[in-house]
Structure formats: C-alpha cells, structure tokens
Amino acid sequence: MNYELNDAVISLRDINKTYPGVVPLHVLKDVSLDIRKGELVSIMGASGSGKSTLLNILGILDNYDSGSYHLDGVLIKDLSENRAAELRNRMIGFVFQSFNLINYKNALENVALPLFYQGISRKKRNALAMEQLERMGLADRAHHLPGELSGGQKQRVAIARALVTKPSLILADEPTGALDSKTSKEVMQVFRDLNDTGMTIVIVTHDPTVGAATDRIIRIVDGSIDQNSKF
Amino acid sequence: MFDLFREISQTIKNNKLRTILTGIAVAWGIFMLIVLLGAARGVVNNYEEESSSSSVNSIRLWSGTTSLPYKGYKDGRWIRLQDNDMDAISGEVSTVSDVAISTTASGFNIVGPKDYISGGFEAVYPDECRTQRIYEIEGRFINQKDINDLRRVIVLSRDNAALLFGDAEKALGEEVKAMNLSWKVVGIYNHRWRKSAFVPYTTYKAITGGDGYVDQMTVRVEGISTDTEAEETESQVRTVLARRHEFDPEDPNAVWIWNQFASFLKQGQAMVYLNLAVWIIGILTLLTGIVGVSNIMFVSVRERVHEIGIRRAIGAKPKNIIIQILAESVVITTIFGYIGIVAGMALLELLKPILEDKAGFSNPTVDISIAVQVTLALIVAGALAGLFPAIKATKVKPVEALRDE
Ligand SMILES: Nc1ncnc2c1ncn2[C@@H]1O[C@H](COP(=O)(O)OP(=O)(O)OP(=O)(O)O)[C@@H](O)[C@H]1O
Ligand SMILES: [Mg+2]
C-alpha cells in the first residue's frame, strides 16, 4: 500500500543505525516505514532485533546515522537538544514498560509535569492533568504516589501524562510488558479507545495478543522490516 | 519562579539525607569562617583601641646587665635604674615629655577590716595608670599632689577591695594598713587581670628612706610619628643612661628598652597581615565548601540520571535541567550557609564576655555588612558548585539517561 507523504505522521526512508563499539553493531538496516495519522500500529520482533532502537529514533530520544525521518512533515535530523525537547514535548507522548513515573511526585503532579515545561500556570496544569486522569478513570487516585498504585494504574497515569500535551503521536515501548494478562487487556483497551478518537499510536511489543489488537503489525527481523508484515 | 521552588523543595524533601549532609558541610564551613572573621575582628578592634590610647607613645626601660666591657669595667655588670635618672632623661632628651618610674615593694601584707593580702604594692607616678592601661577608676588614681605632698594614699583593684572590705563599694575613703602605717583608699580600679595596689612613689621612698633604685621607668614621648624618630629617641635615652651609669651606649643589654612606639608601628603591619590571612583562610574555607557541594551535587545528579531522562523525554530542555540543579545548589548552600552564619554569630556573642575578659579580644563580632557579603559569596559559590554537575547532566543523551536505573 502507498500513502501520501503528507498523510503520514511518521515517514522513514532508509534509516540506518549502528552502535559504535569494539564490535560495531549495525542495528537498523535501511528501514523505510510510513505510519498514517490515526493508525494503531504494533512493532514486533525477536529480542535484540532493534525494536526499541527504532522507537527511540521515532521519539527523537536518539539519532540515526543515515536516511531521513519526517515527523508530521518536519525533517528530524541533527536537531539541537532544545528543538528536540520542544518537539518531544509538543508532538510525542511516551509510555514505557517500567512506567517511568517520578516516584516522589503524586499522580497529578506526574501527569502535569510536561505542561510545566511549556510554562503553563500551575492551576491550568492541574486542571488539564486532572482531565486526563479522569479520562483514565483515576480521578480518585490523583493525590497518590506511584508507589501506592497498582501496575495497571501506574501505566494509566503514564498514558495520561503522554496525553496531557495533546500530542500527534503516542509511542509505547512494551507498555504491557510489566503487567498481567488481565491488566494488559485493560491497557490495550485504553489504547484502542484512544485510537478511536483519532490518536496515532505505535506500540512495541512481544505479546502476540497485543499485536493482534492493533490495525497493523510491523515485524522487524534482524534490523530490517519484514516484507511479509501485515498491512 | 514559584514553580521552580516547588520543584526544588520536592527534590530536596525527596533527598533529605543528602541535603542534610551537604548542608552540614556548608554550614560548618561558613560557621568557621564567621568565627574566624569575628576573632580576627576582635584582635584588630583590641589593637585599635589600644593604639588610640596614649600608652603606645612610650618607651619602657628595665634594669639590665652589661654585655660589653667598657672603660675598664668588665661585662656582666648589673645596671640598676635610679629615680634621679628620670630628671636627667626629661631634661636632656627633647622629645621626652614626661618620665614616670615605678618599683615594686614587697614582703609585707596589706590589711583591711575583713581580710589581708600578702605581697606588697607598686610605688608609682600618676602616669602609671596610662602605662598599665587602667581606665576604669572609681575615685581617682595617684595624682601629682600625692607625689608632691608625700600622701599616704592607695589605689586598689576591685577584687582586692572586695576581699579587704567584704564589699568593694565600702572601701573608698576607708583605710588599710601596710608597712605598719595606714593608707587611705582613694581609688578602686577595674581591669581584666591587673590586681596590684598602687601608692605614690615619693611617699614610699620617704617611708623606706629608699636607695632610689627602681624597677622600671616609662618615658613618654611627644611629637614623633615615624620609626626612625622613635629609634632616635630610644638611642638618646640610652646615651643619657650610658653616661650616668658608665656603660657602652652600644650595649643593648645594659638596660632593657621596649620601644612601644616602634612595636606599635610593627603591629600595624601585623594587623594588615592578619586581615589578609583571615581572608585567605576564609576564601579557602569557602572554596572547600564549593568543592564539597559540587561533589555532592555530582553524586546527586548521578543518582537522578534516570529522573532527568524522564524529564527530558517529556520535554525538559537542557536549560530547564541546568536551572533546576543550579537553583537547588544555591538554595541548599544559602539556607545552610545562613544557618552557619547565625550559629557563628551566636557563638561569638556567647563567647564575647569570655574572650574579652580573658583573651584580649575586643568586641569579637562580625557586622551585618560582612554577613551580607558572605551570603552573596555563598550564592555565587552555590551556583558555581552546581554548574558543572548541571552541565554534565545535560550531556547524557536522553536514551542513555532513561536506560540508567
Ligand atoms: N546503547 C547501545 N549500545 C550498544 N548496543 C546497543 C545499545 N542499545 C541496544 N544495543 C544493542 O542493539 C540491539 C538492538 O537493541 P534493541 O534494544 O533495539 O532491541 P529490542 O528489539 O528492543 O530488544 P528487546 O525486545 O529485548 O527489548 C541489541 O543487540 C542490543 O544489545
Ligand atoms: Mg526493547
């Protein structure tokens, strides 16, 4: 299938990434990939195949060696750290396997933190954060610390934090990896519901049931996109 | 701004132990600095007080022993100052305005209605109170009329007056017995450590018949302002005595001379060095503090790499991270530095009576302007201490920071 470039939130062309070292490791090999606005996509592959590396590049957390990456039409290459931070803040919401919440901040403060870096007033931040927590069904947990929440609740707080800046894209690296199957299903339902509202979501996963719950599975085999990936 | 402080207070609360350890290091350093500055101030104040008193304009002389043979005399001869040297010196040396002599008379008791003190007294001239820096006198010191009229009057220290009369307030105008004669108490003085009783030299000499030998002589000089002039006067005094007692005017040991004026000038130099030393020590203390805080900030940043990674993933710019770490460092140093300042000033205030009484300090405190300067220095120090760890924190790539657990 072919997509118009301006229709794609994410557009990768011939991306290569090598980790330098005594034995340099060529992790991504000529990866080309388009993800349309509103898609719910999963990236699957064996351990060490390069899934996280790809997702980090998508999230502008890491750079790549050659090729091109357009995010919402903007070329993401050799950006200054300031510009990268700004794009991460405005366009991308992250969800991680280990939640990555700040343990001494309560749920509300964690969710509101991205807005702090936009210079939004505390009152407004808290209102917006509360809105997202309500959406995740966690309004009553707003003032609990992460340590007082279950895994599924933590992940929903993390999703609320990813959503609070109204990004164009959610990137999730093994979001269900630390959860039991029942909670995994719940979290996947959250992603599906979000996707129904038009949010573009990319999920890296090992779990076939998670993959099955997405519109499209992109398989990575040894650093290359498997051409038999489901479209 | 307020948000930033909320952030900082959260991280500080979350790292109580580390914060307290850093804080103690900073507070201790500043505490030492303040105590040091205060002590130095005390020494300088004391010096300034004494230099403004006239006692430094004097040259003191004691009997000595010749160290050079002279005109057929062998060396090792004892040269004793005599009371009539006094007139010779004031007559012949133009810069000398006044000469006072004093000698210690001992071997008898001073007896009061309640108790007695053994030892004796010092027979002196009126000027002795300046020489011995006795300023707080109730009643009066020995005066010229006492000298002229050979009055039997005595000046006691407050402690001894209290001992002899049971109460120092009762002593003035009363009489004590000494050398089988009664003496009228005309003055009670207060001094940090002096205890001697004083009587007029002439009275003492008349009573004992006296040989005219005296222990020491104080020559007050006038109209000189330089080292050379002070030394010139000193050598003129020595020459007069050399002629009268037949010793080599070049002999430094025949009479002992302490030229307070010259040593006053040298002390001035010493004070400059003292001040300098205190500032150098102070700056070093502060530097040690900076290094300490910086190290702890490094550790703290190291501990928080993961958290910093999270913050950057959700949009913190390097400058946000730097500002937060700097501000945190400044807040810690300033708060604890302030505690150090207050503790240091409190200690000085507490020790002030003891230091002033026993150790020759005068008003050993640090004034507010110094405290403000130290506080400003602290803020700068805190910023410096946080700067390098902060910059280092932003050099870690976000991916790596997130991987750090
Ligand atoms: N910073 C790094 N430096 C060197 N090698 C790295 C680095 N990060 C990852 N690698 C290597 O690159 C390869 C791909 O890593 P990546 O994390 O992308 O795999 P993955 O597909 O996410 O695996 P998993 O399913 O286990 O998370 C692995 O062999 C890994 O060891
Ligand atoms: Mg991975």
Q: Which residues contact A50 (CB under 8 A, 6 or more apart)?
A: A17, A27, A28, A220, A222, A223
If you measure from the C-alpha of residue A62 to the centroid of ligand 2, how many angstroms do you get, rounded to a whole number? 14
Q: Can you give the pLDDT at residue A2?
A: 43
CA distances from B360 to B40, B41, B120, B353 (A): 11, 12, 26, 11
* Residue pairs between chains A and B whose CB atoms are closer than 8 Å: 66
* Residues with pLDDT less than 70, chain B: 1, 48-56, 225, 261-268, 357-360, 405
Q: Can you give the pLDDT at residue A47?
A: 92
Q: Is the CB of residue A56 less than 8 Å away from at least one CB of chain B?
A: yes
Q: Can you give the pLDDT at residue A130?
A: 96
Q: Atom 1 (ligand 1): residue with closest C-alpha?
A: A19
Q: Can you give the pLDDT at residue A4?
A: 47
Note whether residue A16 is domain-resident. Answer: no
Rounded distance, CA B290 to CA B33, Å? 14
Q: Which residues contact B130 (CB under 8 A, 6 or more apart)?
A: B53, B54, B55, B58
Q: What are phi and psi of B210, to 5 degrees?
A: 45, 140
Give the Cβ contact number of residue A194 at 10 Å: 20
Q: What are phi and psi of B290, to 5 degrees?
A: -60, -45
Note whether residue A71 is domain-resident. Answer: no
CB neighbour class for A20 (10 Å; exposed up to 12, middle 13-18, buried from 19): exposed
Closest CA to A102 of A146, A149, A163: A146
Note whether residue A179 is domain-resident. Answer: yes
Q: Can you give the pLDDT at residue B357?
A: 67
The domain of A208 spans 38-55+81-229
A98 lines ligand 1 (CB under 6 A): no
Note whether residue A176 is domain-resident. Answer: yes
Alpha helices for B304-367 (secondary structure H): 305-313, 318-358
Ligand with the closest atom to the CA of B400: 1
CA distances from B233 to A150, B68, B166, B330 (A): 94, 22, 47, 59
Instruction: Give the β-pairing of A200-204 and A40-45.
Output: parallel
If you measure from the C-alpha of residue B170 to the centroid of ligand 2, how many angstroms do you get, rounded to a whole number? 96
Residues of chain A positioned with their CB less than 8 A from the CB of B313: 59, 61, 88, 94, 100
- A56 → closest Cβ in B317, B320, B399: B399
Q: Can you give the pLDDT at residue B266?
A: 66
Q: Which of the listed residues A16, A19, A224 should we mutate to test ligand 1's pocket, taking the one with most ligand atoms within 8 A of CB?
A: A19
For residue A161, give the amino acid letter: R
Contact flag B313-A105 (C-beta cutoff 8 Å): no
A53 lines ligand 1 (CB under 6 A): yes
pLDDT digits (tens), chain A, 231 positions: 444 445 789 999 999 999 998 999 999 999 999 999 999 999 999 999 999 999 999 999 999 999 999 999 899 998 999 999 999 999 999 999 999 999 999 999 999 999 999 999 999 999 999 999 999 999 999 999 999 999 999 999 999 999 999 998 999 999 998 889 999 999 999 999 999 999 999 999 999 999 999 999 999 999 999 866 644
- A122 → closest Cβ in B3, B394, B402: B3
Note whether residue A89 is domain-resident. Answer: yes
Q: Can you give the pLDDT at residue A64?
A: 95
Rounded distance, CA B385 to CA B333, Å? 9
Residues of chain B positioned with their CB less than 8 A from the CB of A100: 306, 309-310, 313, 402
User: Structural domain tally of chain A?
Assistant: 1
pTM of the predicted structure, to 2 decimals: 0.68
Secondary structure of A158-222 as H, E, C letters: HHHHHHCCCCCEEEEECCCCCCCHHHHHHHHHHHHHHHHCCCEEEEECCCHHHHHCCCEEEEEEC
Residue A187 contacts residue A214 (beta carbons within 8 Å): no
Contact flag A96-B399 (C-beta cutoff 8 Å): no
Ligand with the closest atom to the CA of A46: 1
Note whether residue A66 is domain-resident. Answer: no
A110 lines ligand 1 (CB under 6 A): no
Q: Atom 24 (ligand 1): residue with closest C-alpha?
A: A47
Residues of chain B positioned with their CB less than 8 A from the CB of A90: 315
* Distance (Å) from the alpha carbon of B324 to chain A's nearest alpha carbon: 12
If you measure from the C-alpha of residue A52 to the centroid of ligand 2, how many angstroms do you get, rounded to a whole number? 4
A17 lines ligand 1 (CB under 6 A): no
Q: Atom 5 (ligand 1): residue with closest C-alpha?
A: A19
Q: Can you give the pLDDT at residue B75?
A: 81
Q: Is the CB of residue B304 less than 8 Å away from at least one CB of chain A?
A: no
Q: Can you give the pLDDT at residue B51?
A: 60
- B313 → closest Cβ in A88, A90, A104: A88
Instruction: Give the β-pairing of B181-190 and B136-139.
Output: antiparallel
Q: Can you give the pLDDT at residue B360?
A: 67
User: Domain containing A141 — which CATH number?
Assistant: 3.40.50.300
Q: Which helix (H) or strand (E) holds B255?
A: strand B255-259
Closest CA to A196 of A17, A28, A39: A39
Note whether residue A212 is domain-resident. Answer: yes
Residues of chain A positioned with their CB less than 8 A from the CB of B310: 100-102
Q: Can you give the pLDDT at residue B315?
A: 92
